[in-house]
C-alpha cells in the first residue's frame, strides 16, 4: 500500500520559485513526489503566527481561490498542483483559531481521499497535528534549530523560544521518527529511540538527494 503524505512545511511553496530559497524541505519534497511507494502528497504552506504575516498571506490567498482550487473557505484554499498527485494547502487559520485549522485540514484530507497517512513535519511551532489522526506514521525532519532564529527571539507577547523547547520535548515523545541534518541537532533528541542524523549539504551541488530520501524511507519501512 502506498503512503499518502501530509508535509507541514517550513516555507511557502511559492517562495521556492527563487532558487536561493530552496532548502532541505524543497529537495526532500521533490524526491518524495517521484517515489513509487507514495500516492498523494499534500504540502501545507508555512503557517503564519503573527497577524502582520497573516494579513499579507490573506491577500495572496484570495488571489488563489479559483486557481485549480479543490477546497476553499474564507481563510483557506487547497490547490491541485499535479493532477491526482500533489496538492498545496494555504491558510491563515493559525492566527485565528488552531482548532478551526485542524477541522479544515481534516475536511481537505477527506475530500482528497487520503489514506495510510504519513505526517511529515518541518514546522516545530505547533506539534498538535501529530495527535489529529489515527493510524498514521509521524516524522519530524529538522535542518536547523529554530531556537536560533532571530525573528523568534525578539521580545513578543508570546515566548516562542519557550514554545519551541516544549515542542521539541513533545516531538521527542510523539514522533515515530526524527531526522536531523546535523549531529548538533541530533543531540536535542538524544532520548528518542528512532532519531537519526542524516546530513545534507544543501549548499553543495553534488548532494545526492535521492540517496538521502531513500535512506529515510528505508528506515521508515524497516520498522
Average pLDDT, the chain: 87
Would you state the pLDDT for residue 11? 93
CA 207 to chain centre: 21
Element of type H or E holding 116: none
* Residue 162 banded pLDDT, cuts 50, 70, 90: confident
Element (DSSP H or E) covering residue 77: strand 76-82
The pLDDT of residue 203 is 53
CA dist., res. 45 & res. 1, Å (int): 26
pLDDT of residue 90: 94
Give the Cα separation of 116 and 3 in Å (integer): 5
pLDDT of residue 204 exceeding 60 = no
Give every CB contact of residue 23 below 8 A, 6+ residues apart in sequence: 10, 11, 143, 202
Average pLDDT on 188-198 reads 79
Residue 202 has what pLDDT? 57
What pLDDT, on a 0 to 100 scale, did the predictor assign at position 132? 79
Query: What would the mean pLDDT of 159-179 be, rounded to a whole number?
Result: 84
Please state, in angstroms and rounded to a whole number, the distance separating the CA atoms of residues 111 and 109: 5
> Residue 113 region, left (φ>0) first, then alpha (ψ -120 to 50), else beta?
left
What pLDDT was estimated at residue 100?
Answer: 94
- Across-strand partners of 6? 42, 119
Which pLDDT value is given to residue 140? 93
Instruction: Give the pLDDT confidence score for residue 1 in this predicted structure.
Output: 79
Which superfamily does CATH assign the domain made up of 3-222 to?
Glycogen Phosphorylase B; (3.40.50.2000)
**Mean pLDDT score, 58-82:** 85
Q: How is residue 185 written as a grid cell?
A: 541537532
Pick 79 or 169 by higher pLDDT. Answer: 79
Give the residue with greater pLDDT, 204 vs 97. Answer: 97
% helix, strand, coil for the chain, step of 5? 45, 20, 35
Please give the pLDDT value at position 62. 78
Counting beta carbons within 10 angstroms of the beta carbon of residue 9, is it exposed (0 to 12), middle (13 to 18) or buried (19 or more)? buried
Q: What is the pLDDT of residues 12-45, one digit of tens each?
A: 999 999 999 999 999 999 999 999 999 999 999 9
190 pLDDT tier (thresholds 50, 70, 90): confident
User: Average pLDDT for residues 203-211, to the nearest whole number?
Assistant: 77
pLDDT tens by residue, 93-148: 999 999 999 999 999 999 999 999 999 999 988 888 878 787 789 999 988 877 77
Amino acid at each position: 500500500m502506498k503512503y499518502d503524505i501530509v508535509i507541514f512545511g517550513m516555507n511557502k511553496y511559492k517562495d521556492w520559485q527563487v532558487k536561493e530559497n530552496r532548502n532541505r524541505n524543497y529537495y526532500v519534497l521533490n524526491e518524495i513526489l517521484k517515489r513509487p511507494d507514495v500516492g498523494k502528497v499534500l504540502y501545507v504552506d508555512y503557517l503564519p503566527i503573527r497577524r502582520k504575516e497573516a494579513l499579507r498571506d490573506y491577500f495572496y490567498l484570495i488571489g488563489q481561490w479559483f486557481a485549480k482550487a479543490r477546497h476553499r473557505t474564507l481563510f483557506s484554499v487547497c490547490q491541485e498542483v499535479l493532477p491526482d498527485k500533489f496538492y498545496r494547502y494555504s491558510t491563515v487559520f493559525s492566527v485565528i483559531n488552531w482548532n478551526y485549522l485542524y477541522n479544515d485540514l481534516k475536511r481537505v484530507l477527506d475530500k482528497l481521499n487520503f489514506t495510510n497517512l504519513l505526517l511529515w513535519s518541518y514546522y516545530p511551532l505547533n506539534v498538535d497535528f501529530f495527535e489529529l489522526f489515527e493510524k498514521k506514521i509521524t516524522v519530524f525532519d529538522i535542518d536547523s534549530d529554530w531556537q536560533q532564529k532571530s525573528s523568534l527571539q525578539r521580545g513578543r507577547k508570546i515566548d516562542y523560544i519557550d514554545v519551541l523547547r516544549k515542542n521539541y520535548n513533545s516531538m521527542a515523545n510523539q514522533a515515530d521518527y526524527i531526522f536531523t541534518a546535523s549531529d548538533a541537532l541530533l543531540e536535542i533528541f538524544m532520548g528518542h529511540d528512532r532519531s537519526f542524523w542524516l546530513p545534507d549539504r544543501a549548499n553543495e551541488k553534488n548532494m545526492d538527494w535521492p540517496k538521502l530520501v531513500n535512506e529515510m524511507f528505508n528506515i521508515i519501512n524497516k520498522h
